[in-house]
Chains A and B, each alone.
Chain A
């Protein structure tokens, strides 16, 4: 792909250097802590699952108990290993013991705790490796995917109904199916259990729901002659737990933004940045493509004004992702087509921003989001906005194309809303197949000028964020005009200081395999 905008390579390199400074600052401020969700994830990866009689997940029981016993700072794995070494028959028995704070407090740290957990760690690592290999095998069995990948959302609230909708969407041409989570699941400090049939604006992310949808999409594969990707959300208070569940059930894409929960859900910044690192490490080894959420900035603030903040955030997300071991092909940076359709030359701005993202992150599977904010009850105008979006997507070689719904302003999509969207995107993708190859931009034209302006703006923001640190920038409202102080927000009480002997065998295993290719 030849660059068309003439953006300065030196300036792009400067932005990446600033992002390195930002990420280093984040690491300095977070490395002394773990979180309740990170420790629950460790437990899940060690095979602890299920709920008690009150629907409280066992990983929550154990973590609460270890916290009450004052022992969480050493890491849940240490105590699981100690319980096993002291005679607990398996992870279920060890979890049962640790769920009682008195017994957890009385349990001595066993010198051979590592040996005791090693088989459990290895079993999980093997399952994740096997899932990754299976995905690769399935993908290789079919012709390469047509790009951009068409990504559809289902959100009925009932996993069984979602399966019906996903089946229809995949048959119509959707290549990725995302099950939107129920409203405010991100604020739950536990992951619900089992298959679920009621939700608001979406369906609960549970491991069983993941399994059911995965099986449904796999069933379609022979008939469709292609692999259908499954997407869910690892964000919110249970970010790393959901990453773990996704790795165990072979999800392919995970929404996994470093800042979304902080800005849009008022989740504590420290908690989120600790959890995003562990969840990204899991996604990295699982071969998952993460999707970041910069598109969301454009829904609350003006899309023209916020364009530099989106780009700055992409640089930061890229760096934090690379630091967590993700390779560039796994970093699906997000952005969106959200400019007010009343604006003259709005389309030119959109093209400039989309093409700039493409050229600045050439190996990233960019995730391009449709118009939402300026969608109205005029569904016919909406269909037209979505057509402009789809054309821009093909013309700037976006990788993942989230289908725009003509009824965006009304409801979560009906069956035929989704079908109309898929038809539209397929028609445009076919008709404009080689448009990108044919286009050059005037070096002094509006599109090139706009792209440069956005990059300049991003550099200015990155300089400010690098100077003050990401936490200060969040507190100042640099992103999406929203202010989030470091010691406020949901889940702050779940941030736990590590003690000197803290251990997390999974982090240790994965930190040894950084993505050298990106160093």
Chain B
């Protein structure tokens, strides 16, 4: 038996507190054999899991065996020490955001949206921009105080930079869906680099979004915020309101 978790610490729960029940599945590049199953158990042990129960060892190709293993985790995590990275923004409704944007800026905020270079996925971007919106939350085009310009997908980085200059954009929203071989990191970084090179980086709020994007990653790449799955336009608009206000406050020496 594994020792029970400390009160404030957590550990996976199967059918009783502290049992550490987990399920893992993976393929080893070896032919199926008793030795392969033993290797799977040892592999799982190295993950810090005890009592491995190999429920499936299946030859899925001549030199590959697929395993499903149930086991018990012994380690735990201290909830107290955790601060989750999320784009900071109060939950506000569309009307309120619109009202505040007009009141504070007295003009329409120009927001560009795009997916970069080779990325042809538009559905996530459209969910944030289109009138219709997403999950019952209207898109940015519905906001009176926002001049929302959805440039669509496959937009070259240089073109975005040109449009930032030309439209005097307040914000650029980038959607990144294809992440294989870290291609999104490359394109997102290219945009930051080019904006910096042109002296435009500080003039715009830069936001990234996509199924594999989160706030921490976006910050790391030099963006102001990042939004992942399930994002709605009003959350993004609320962040824009806060960030633009913060910038206005620091820019104008009272």
Contact = CB atoms under 8 A, between A and B. Distances in A.
B60 A299 contact: no
B119 interface: yes
Given A265-B120, A416-B27, A157 B60 contact: no
Given A167-B61, A168-B60, A200-B181, A416 B66 contact: yes
A171 B62 contact: yes
A266 B211 contact: no
B66 A411 contact: no
A419 B60 contact: yes
B123 A419 contact: no
A172 B117 CA distance: 37
B27 A414 contact: yes
19 contacts: A157-B180, A168-B61, A168-B64, A183-B118, A183-B180, A183-B183, A184-B118, A184-B120, A198-B181, A200-B118, A200-B178, A201-B180, A265-B154, A414-B27, A415-B27, A416-B66, A419-B60, A419-B61, A419-B66
Given A184-B154, A200-B180, A409-B211, A415 B118 contact: no
Contacts of B27: 414-416
A373 B60 CA distance: 27
Contacts of B2: none
A427 interface: no
Q: How large is the interface on A (under 10, 10 to 19, 20 to 34, 35 or more residues)?
A: 20 to 34
Contacts of A416: 25-27, 60, 66
Given A172-B61, A183-B180, A409-B211, 12 more contacts: A167-B61, A183-B178, A183-B183, A184-B117, A184-B154, A198-B181, A200-B180, A201-B180, A266-B152, A266-B154, A419-B58, A419-B60
B183 A200 contact: yes
Interface of A: 157, 167-168, 171-172, 183-184, 187, 198, 200-201, 264-266, 299-300, 373, 377, 409, 411-412, 414-416, 419
Given A183-B118, A187-B118, A300-B123, A415 B183 contact: no
Contacts of B153: 266
Contacts of B119: 183
Contacts of B60: 168, 172, 415-416, 419
Given A183-B178, A200-B183, A264 B120 contact: yes
A299 B180 CA distance: 20
A429 B60 CA distance: 19
Given A184-B120, A409-B211, A201 B178 contact: yes
